[in-house]
Structure 1
Amino acid sequence: MNQGHGAPGYSLRWLLMVFVTALMVSVLVAGTYLSASRFTQYLAYQLQVQTRDAAVALGVSLSTVETDGEARRIIDAMFDSGAYRSIKLQGPNGQTRHKRGRESADQGVPQWFRSWAALPAPQGRAAVVAGWEPSGEVIVRGDPGPALTNLWQSFLTDLVWVGVILLLSLWVLWRGTRRLLKPLGRLEGQALSLEAGDFSVRTPEPEVRELAPVVRAMNRMAEQLSQTFRRQVRVIDELQRQVSQDPVTGLNNRQTFEQQLNTLLYSREDSAGGVLAIFRLQDFSAFNRNKGRPAGNRLLSDCGDIIRYFEVRHPGVISGRGQGAEIALFLPHAGIADGDQWLLELVHEMSERYSAHAAPGVGVVQVGATVADPALQPGEILARADSGLQQAESGDQPVVVWGHALPVSPSDTTDWRTTLDAALAGDGLTLVWQPCYSPLGHPVMEQVLARLAIKGQWMSAAQFIPFLERYLLTSALDRRVLELTLEKLEQHPEQVFSVALGQASLADEAFLHWLGLRLERAGNLTTRLWLAFPERVVQALPDAVATLEDYAEQTGVRLMVDQFGTGGISFDYLARIRIQGVRIGQQYVRDIHQREDARFFLESMVPVIQQQGMQVFVSGVEVADEWEVIQSMAVDAVMGFHLCRPQDQPSVERERG
């Protein structure tokens, strides 16, 4: 199921880190500022005292000398040995007798720091006397430069220690909050899982008193939601089975088979013929009388298993139980050659199973077959198959008899391999694009469809896929389609495309390995790519589905189950696998405005699927009445001929053109 993502915003851990960091920075900066301010005041006071004492001492010294030369030597010695900006000796009338001065020694201190510290240049004065008479005055101006330099260096040292303490504290806080908030992180993970529709996650009850009741409530809610979802799926699954499935064989019932047959034969989007066959167990009524009805049901169930296994190996095949011991099988797009071979294999296998239940050599299964031409009415096609069956029953051998088979040219079955190889290797492959719209009519994405040039005509996938499967070329087609689609994604960064992968490709380990490498190499392009696979693959190829889930988690590509509801499997897989969407096929959409069973199924399943965090897409909407019903169901996106036919270019290229 889809993995949800948290809403945009800041994590509690980061908010806590930011708050504590801001608080610590404020405290440390304030402490550093106050400490530096007090130290500045102390330096200013010391400079004032030092300058005053120096002036007094110099005045006393100069009062003891008798000549100006001695006075100059004393002044020079004191000036050179101290931090003074100037020393001046002046006479009684103010004339300068001697003066020494220099610039402030505060190199390397930035101007903003000088302005902030504002250390004054103190001045000291002292009288000079000769005997008892004043002979002049000495004026000493201190130099705050060295003190300012020391203050700046001390400030830088304090900043370094503040940074070290801050980083160490933040590291301890980061490690501590990781441990302290771990229970909250588990709770957040559970909430995201619930948002994504994953009800299996449970959170261990923490020791934190305030969180414990919240965790208990979340676990209880998750368990209740999980049980509710399973009950909903079981109810819908059972109702669907009762409405559409034969309880003995596990195949479709007659009504469902005929509905699916009409959908495949008479679809406007991709109608094509195929082979219709009716199997009948000879003398089944006598077997029932002799062995009993339970034995007859077991025999029919075994025959149903054979048919279902055949369906798994041949995607697109539909089957259903007819009246009594009849089983109907439709092979879409198959020709007489393929149909005859497959039907003979099934006849012999079912006859062997019949003999195992009855007696060796007694059980016989016979088949009447015909080519299903969309130009004929359903009743005519069934009548032709029944005509072949009546001819087969004239004997007692397991045979396939064709009733009114339509002719087929030898070239239809002999040179397909050469034609397909040439089309895939050259320019015989082109892509068409079918837009997918929201119920409000807004484009959501575009489905990528392949067309092959066969004998001068462009053919849709439904027409050539059976031949690709016969010659093991499905993976080659899917590789080419993916490569071309990724090129378009690179050209149009605003587009979202969907590509359907064939079951045969997913069964090919080499293709899966190539797919993983190609998606990884595509980078961010994969976030705008949907990969769809048939619902049958969930049961037939669980390892391949698990591999796709890993690719989706690693690269961001999104996964979609195609042909939802037609795989013959329980819907509980929706709670097991990590997919982002399902696509409901035309089997449920065709004439939905007249089919209460199909409408009930979709109205029940759509909200259940969306509650799991998945998107619901619908395909095959061909008429306005179908579109009106689908619009009322709040699905995520819809496509079909009623909305738009496949186009030769993506919508962005058509708009630019």
Structure 2
Amino acid sequence: MSIRRQLALYIGLLMVVILSGNLFLNIINLKSHFEQQLQARADETATTLALTLSQSAQANDDAALRSMIDVIFDRGHFALVRFAYTDSNKLIERGAIESVAVPTWFKSVMGLNPGFANTEVISGWTQLGQLSIAMHQGPSYEQLWRLVKAECAWFLLMTFIVVYGMRVLLIWLLKPLKQIEELAQKLSHNQFVHIHEKPTSREVHSLVQAMNHLSDRLHASFLAHGQTVRKLQHETFNDGLTQVLNTKGWDQYLYDWMKHEQFAPGWIALIHVDNLTELNEQLGKAVVDELLVQISMQLKTESSLNHEHVGIARTGGGDFWLFSPDPLDKEYTVRVEAIHDSLMRLSLIQQHKAQLFLVAMPVHEPQSPASLKHQLDLLLQRSKTEQQSLLVGATEHHPLTNWVEWQQRLKRALLDESIQLYSQPLFDDTQNIIQQEIHCRLIEEDGEEPLMAGYFWPMVDKLNLSQEFDRLVIRLWQRLFENQKDTGRFKGKWVLNIAGKSLNEPSFRQWFAEHVTTEQLNDLIIECSEYTLAHVTVKTQMWLHDMTEKGLRLSVDHVGTSGKSFGFLAHFPVYQGKIERRYIRDIHDHKDNAFFVSGMIQVFQAQSALCFAEGVEKQEEIDVLTQLGVDGVMGYAVGRPKLLEIPKPQQNGAHIVDDES
């Protein structure tokens, strides 16, 4: 029970006791008042009537006596009027049974003392008789009944006013405590906010100030921890001078990108400053470092390379490497030439006459990183021999490089729903499946293997069709979800990846809120990359908070790739995060990777969020990750993607079949 309710209850009980005591005293006083009135009237009537009866009693005029007694009795205030002669047994009496219009229980409870008086009728010094008067209690009971009812009604009214007024007053007085409770809940999820309203009471005001101070301290601590983890990541996987990937980071990036399920077409390039040693001897290390930093800054700010999946690395000396996912249309060489021209126009390149070579070639299908490096080295040697500062390898024919064909094909896929959904399980630390992540593949018209998202999604993004494809994936999942109600629904959560462009579109957010039911929200997790969350709008961030309150959950994918401190995640209602696979690969052989992953786990645990590892391929990796404290793993080592058979709208029955089938 809340403190407000406890105070309201206890104060209400106290007020009820006080008002009840007041009611009891008022009723006792009323009873005493009526008893005194009855007795006073009885005494007064007896005295007056005795004087009146004295002459008739002396004359033994019974008729006159009876007449006067009748007159008094008929007034209706008396229950008994009796005159008894002293010297005889004669008796003149009028009496009647009382009829009282009040409940019997009230009469028995109140028990009014009847007004009764005895007096002597005398003439001179002679006693003529005895006069007895008893008052009628009926009117007194009736008046007392009306007054008691009025007192009880007033008691109930005052009790209601006191209790309700006390409740309203306590709500107002204890409002800061409710805000403190909400602040504590937000702090538990690393939402560092302040209470801006200042309470009137000194004690609560001090408590609010202490909570605001605690919020600031926790925020600073969380940011410092996130910055420390990010710094460790940069020191391990980034070049200390240029802040791009180092040799280790580049090897892991290229290895992961060239995996079949991760691969997307693009072009790879090598940028080489040939006379770097001479420049170092002539100009000094500081000037050469400034030159290398200028090259890296130009690459990082190049508009065509502003994408979350672009890889930029410096592997030592004057060698820079690039990989950019690209649809590889006929104009992709123009984009490579633009990068070359921007580098050649750099002030330090021209000022110090640095000999810069850029060689590039398209990558249409996964290849081994060693093979790619070897081919680029050969191109570089050819470039030096031919003294060409830019050399692009021959573009092989590929059927998926025409923009118009891509647009027609993707729109047909949307119209015909010609995509397949695959689900990959996520296991917790007890080997139980707790989530199924949905993957999308495009069905080939010629019956070949479906294209993975890495192949066709860059074109979806370039043609601004991501919102339509996200809606299609959600509709297909909803069809599967509803169909499984009859066939045994998966008890865990479903994870759907949503593109950043879709989330930033108000029309998509409105469509999602209108078409996804509350029941579906409770079983759904939407997943965005860390890069996407770092670039969403403020309205999208507010929408994510609103949908989370309705039951939706948010997952962060590719944790460790945005280049931002993890502190920015505190602004989002993060339910879970997945560490990028490049930090997971062979973690049992790389202590620095393990140290960095441990730091990321602590960041998510501090935010009361789950932390998973993706891309797990070896049991040794699972063993290390389990020791580090991850909440679960996913990857080929524990479960491969499986094809989901989505029923047509008019069909029933959905089941899962193996990918290999």
**Aligned equivalents of 1:521 and 1:42: distance in 2?**
74
* C-alpha contact (below 8 Å) 1:368/1:386 kept by paired residues: no
* C-alpha contact (below 8 Å) 1:369/1:389 kept by paired residues: no
Highest CA radius of gyration, 1 or 2?
A: 2
For the residue of structure 2 that corresponds to 1:277, the secondary structure is strand
**Which of 139, 147, 151 pairs up with 2:143?**
147
* C-alpha contact (below 8 Å) 1:428/1:452 kept by paired residues: yes
Matched ranges for 1:241-252 at <5 A: 241-252=234-245
For the residue of structure 2 that corresponds to 1:632, the secondary structure is helix
Aligned to 2:620: 625
Aligned to 1:591: 586
Report how far residue 18 of structure 1 moved.
2.7
Where structure 1 has 5 or more consecutive residues not aligned to the other structure, the ranges are 1-8
Alpha-carbon distance change, 480 to 284 in structure 1, aligned in 2, over 3 angstroms: farther
Residue type of the alignment partner of 2:358: Q
TM-score (norm. length: structure 1): 0.77
* C-alpha contact (below 8 Å) 2:16/2:159 kept by paired residues: no
Matched ranges for 1:158-169 at <5 A: 158-159=154-155, 162-163=158-159, 166=162
Report how far residue 252 of structure 1 moved.
0.9
* C-alpha contact (below 8 Å) 2:39/2:117 kept by paired residues: no
Aligned to 1:519: 513
Where structure 2 has 5 or more consecutive residues not aligned to the other structure, the ranges are 647-652
Once the two structures are overlaid, the 10-residue window that deviates more, 432-441 or 219-228, is 219-228
Alpha-carbon distance change, 481 to 73 in structure 1, aligned in 2, over 3 angstroms: farther
Report how far residue 502 of structure 1 moved.
1.7
**Aligned equivalents of 1:93 and 1:654: distance in 2?**
113
Matched, 1:307 2:304: no
Residue type of the alignment partner of 2:623: E
Report how far residue 564 of structure 1 moved.
0.9
Report how far residue 146 of structure 1 moved.
1.2
TM-score (norm. length: structure 2): 0.76
* C-alpha contact (below 8 Å) 1:344/1:399 kept by paired residues: no
For the residue of structure 2 that corresponds to 1:15, the secondary structure is helix
**Aligned equivalents of 1:654 and 1:113: distance in 2?**
75
* C-alpha contact (below 8 Å) 1:351/1:365 kept by paired residues: no
Matched ranges for 1:222-301 at <5 A: 228-266=221-259, 270-272=261-263, 274-281=265-272, 283-285=274-276, 288=279, 293-301=285-293
Matched ranges for 1:473-552 at <5 A: 473-482=465-474, 496-506=493-503, 508=504, 511-512=505-506, 514-515=508-509, 518-519=512-513, 526=521, 529-541=524-536, 543=538, 546-548=541-543, 551=546
Report how far residue 471 of structure 1 moved.
1.0
Report how far residue 632 of structure 1 moved.
1.8
**Which of 403, 411, 423 pairs up with 2:413?**
423
**Aligned equivalents of 1:480 and 1:410: distance in 2?**
22
State the Cα deviation string for residues 314-362 of structure 1 (Å, max 9, x = none): 3323232245433322345x55x34x64453133233333233334999
Aligned to 2:76: 82
* C-alpha contact (below 8 Å) 1:451/1:459 kept by paired residues: yes
Once the two structures are overlaid, the 10-residue window that deviates more, 425-434 or 549-558, is 549-558
Matched, 1:462 2:457: no
* C-alpha contact (below 8 Å) 2:19/2:155 kept by paired residues: no
State the Cα deviation string for residues 558-614 of structure 1 (Å, max 9, x = none): 444321111223334345666444321212222222222221111123123322444
* C-alpha contact (below 8 Å) 2:81/2:131 kept by paired residues: no
**Aligned equivalents of 1:494 and 1:72: distance in 2?**
100
Aligned to 1:174: 170
For the residue of structure 2 that corresponds to 1:415, the secondary structure is helix
**Aligned equivalents of 1:452 and 1:60: distance in 2?**
123
State the Cα deviation string for residues 220-270 of structure 1 (Å, max 9, x = none): 766665555444444333332122112333221122211122223236xx2
Aligned to 2:428: 438
Alpha-carbon distance change, 155 to 216 in structure 1, aligned in 2, over 3 angstroms: closer
State the Cα deviation string for residues 131-165 of structure 1 (Å, max 9, x = none): 99989998765325413432333323531562376
Matched ranges for 1:24-173 at <5 A: 24-44=15-35, 46-47=37-38, 71=66, 75=70, 78-79=73-74, 81-82=75-76, 103-106=99-102, 117-120=109-112, 122=114, 141-143=136-138, 145-159=141-155, 162-163=158-159, 166=162, 170=166, 173=169
Report how far residue 380 of structure 1 moved.
2.4
Aligned to 1:17: 8
Report how far residue 170 of structure 1 moved.
1.8
Report how far residue 468 of structure 1 moved.
0.4
Residue type of the alignment partner of 1:601: F
For the residue of structure 2 that corresponds to 1:409, the secondary structure is coil
For the residue of structure 2 that corresponds to 1:563, the secondary structure is strand
Matched, 1:382 2:373: yes
Alpha-carbon distance change, 274 to 101 in structure 1, aligned in 2, over 3 angstroms: same
Alpha-carbon distance change, 543 to 617 in structure 1, aligned in 2, over 3 angstroms: same
Report how far residue 473 of structure 1 moved.
0.7
Matched, 1:325 2:318: yes
For the residue of structure 1 that corresponds to 2:628, the secondary structure is coil
Identity %: 21
Aligned to 1:608: 603
